[in-house]
Copies of this chain bind each other. A is one copy, B any other.
């Protein structure tokens, strides 16, 4: 076994209580004893046993991030990881460990309940993809410190934060208007796709404000594959008056859109400007490089890390808010 507080106490000719006090910088300790104890600790290479401390304090100083990641997620969902990076950084800064737990929606309740009951972790950040009404019940009934990332789509008592996609949509529309595009079309996901819908809402609100019309033909919905973007763009091009710019609800649609425009020999950004959301690596690689409204998910992760710690310290804090740092990254696909 390694050296314990007892060993230090013995060698320093004092009690373990005093050693403990020295470690915690208690004022009621004479400089001499403190010095003596410190040097013995040094000499013996003493390190407090974290597990014993966890046990006594009934806190692990770790939080679990619960989400649904499976094989391929690293490639298909870079945002999730970018968020994790931000969370980890903030939690480290606050003195917490960052534990990752991949779970299917159906297993989350059991895990959270158990992890909480057994005091395995101090709190949970839970991705909206795995929340359920039962979980909402559970966390509020047992007052489990938690924070959901993403807006729940049902009645709930969760604390949550989310990116404000509506705001991002507004920013996209404003950017296009500002640089001089006067007619704007939108291609987006199905109506199941909340993110796409919120972005569209934001776009609409800005267009309305500026008295820009959005004729039905300028609005296309579909799946979010490259091919879907391609087809939807073709649809838009059938309009009597071709729009001056197209807002694509996501990168894949945007790539399909670019392809369609290329095939039709339509110049980007001169004839038609394109803007999309989220800064995927290939936004910078495509030609033209895509102008993008980026949401800083790293910052969002940091925010989440900071908030879960707040929740742990002030359990009755209740947060439900949109947090977002959208920003235009101007590249080649807009004037």
In chain A, residues 19-41, which have Cβ atoms closer than 8 Å to a Cβ of chain B? none
Copies of this chain, complex-wide, total 2
Q: Are B62 and A99 in contact (CB under 8 A)?
A: yes
Cβ of A81 and Cβ of B74 under 8 Å apart?
A: yes
Q: Is the interface of A mostly helix, strand, loop or mixed?
A: helix
Q: Could you list 25 examples of A-B contacts with CB < 8 Å?
A: A2-B119, A45-B117, A47-B114, A47-B117, A47-B118, A54-B55, A70-B85, A71-B82, A73-B85, A74-B79, A74-B80, A74-B81, A74-B83, A74-B297, A74-B298, A75-B82, A75-B281, A78-B78, A84-B100, A88-B100, A88-B101, A99-B99, A259-B287, A282-B282, A282-B285
Q: Interface size (A, Cβ < 8 Å)?
A: 56
Q: Output the least CB separation between A302 and chain B (Å).
A: 10
Is A69 an interface residue when CB atoms closer than 8 A count as contact? yes
Q: How far is the CB of A311 from chain B (nearest CB, A)?
A: 19
The interface residues of chain B lying within 8 Å CB-to-CB of A69 are 85, 88
What residues make up the interface of A, taking CB atoms closer than 8 Å to B? Answer: 2, 45, 47-52, 54-55, 58, 60, 62, 69-76, 78-86, 88-89, 92, 97-102, 114, 117-120, 226, 252, 255, 259, 279-282, 285, 287, 297-298
Instruction: Report how far A311 CA is from B83 CA in the complex, Å.
Output: 31
Q: How long is the Cα–Cα vector from A101 to B84 in the complex, in angstroms?
A: 11
In angstroms, Cα B74 to Cα A79, docked, is: 7
